[in-house]
Amino acid sequence: MQKAERVVSPRTRGGTQGRAQGAAGGGSRAARPVGNVTRGTTNPNRMRRVDRWLAGPQAWRLRNAADPLVVDLGYGASPATAVELFERLSAVRADVRVVGIEIEPERVRLAKALERPGLSFQLGGFELPVPGRPVLVRAFNVLRQYEEADVPAIWRLVQDRLAPGGLFIDGTCDEIGRRVTWVALDDVRPLSLGLSMRFGGFELPSEIAERLPKALIHRNVPGENIHAYLQALDKAWLEAAPLASFGNRQRWTAMCRALRDGGWPVQDGPSRWRLGELTVGWEAVAPDGLMGGDHQGP
């Protein structure tokens, strides 16, 4: 892996925005994709939890899109998860177009063999060198290698490329997709933090902390919103222990309901909770100063 390069603010020295514009114009220096090569480790079915959220509560975005363009950004050494995304979203909209983007040329070369109508692969980075504006961009286990200070600039770069009503997913998961978190952003601001966990694979929900997105993973300390949220999860989970005899789904659902009743901005409902999933408004968990983080608990 190459040495990580800082991604500076698009408003500083032309920053990544200037580089992306230069790349579009064919300048020799700016032609290099924006970003760094990742380790590339991945596994089939690793993204199933976030994909079913995109094909579930967020499916309206794809259905309503004037151009059903979707980007899998930084799919890794194997294109398996990009292929799976295409297959899952094809059930939502048959004419979906999924473009897998990778910054490592050899990964793109190998993935080309799997291209088919509606699925393609190309070289690129955060500048998203695709014609048109994507309605969905999924970047998983990509931003975790960057500095926390780089996150707002990266977010802004991708957000500026979204179609109206589009969504950018910045997520992290474990090696086989049993613990997953993601921040969802529209073209203006972060909207929510989602998490999904495999029942039977944890003792306390706060164990998800090690898989938090880069914007939050270093903020899980007393006094920060995300710490208060994870502590509230654990408290509600422990208080729902009497329901364990009826199964973890019942216990998790009770935990989610208790959080909602306690004033946390819990989204979706029991049909999602039964999957081990929980989504909360970004304002409740955001770090102070990072795009709306000025809230402490419910």
At residue 6, the 3 state secondary structure works out as coil
Helix-strand-coil split of the chain, %, nearest 5 = 40, 15, 45
Between β-strands 167-173 and 136-140, what pairing exists: parallel, antiparallel or unpaired? parallel
Q: Determine which helix (DSSP H) or strand (DSSP E) holds 159, and give its type and residue range.
A: helix 151-159
Angle at 163 (CA atoms; ends 161, 169), nearest 5 degrees: 70
pLDDT of residue 32: 83
Three-point CA angle 138, 119, 163, nearest 5°: 45
**Locate tokens 């970004």: which residue?**
282
Q: Going residue by residue through the chain, which has 298 residues, state the pLDDT in tens, using 9 for 90 and above.
A: 334 455 654 443 333 333 333 333 333 344 688 887 776 567 789 999 999 999 999 999 999 999 999 999 999 999 999 999 999 999 999 999 999 999 999 999 999 999 999 999 999 999 999 999 999 999 999 998 899 999 999 999 999 999 999 999 999 999 999 999 999 999 999 999 999 999 999 999 999 999 999 999 999 999 999 999 999 999 999 999 999 999 999 999 999 999 999 999 999 999 999 999 999 999 999 997 665 544 445 6
In whole angstroms, give the CA distance from residue 178 to residue 208: 10
Residues 12-31 as b or e (16 or more Cβ within 10 Å = b): eeebbbebbebbeeeeeebe
Q: At what angle do helices 151-159 and 15-25 cross, to 10 degrees?
A: 40
The residue length of the chain stands at: 298
CA distance 170 to 121: 20
Q: Which two tokens stand for residue 43?
A: 């596994």
Tell me how far apart the alpha carbons of residues 65 and 285 are, in angstroms, rounded to a whole number.
29
Domain ranges of the chain: 1-188, 199-298
Q: pTM of the predicted model, to two decimals?
A: 0.87
Tell me the torsion sign for CA atoms 60, 61, 67, 68.
negative
Q: How far apart are CA 233 and CA 236, in angstroms?
A: 5
Instruction: Assign domain 1-188 one CATH number from 3.40.640.10, 3.30.70.270, 2.40.110.10, 3.40.50.150.
Output: 3.40.50.150
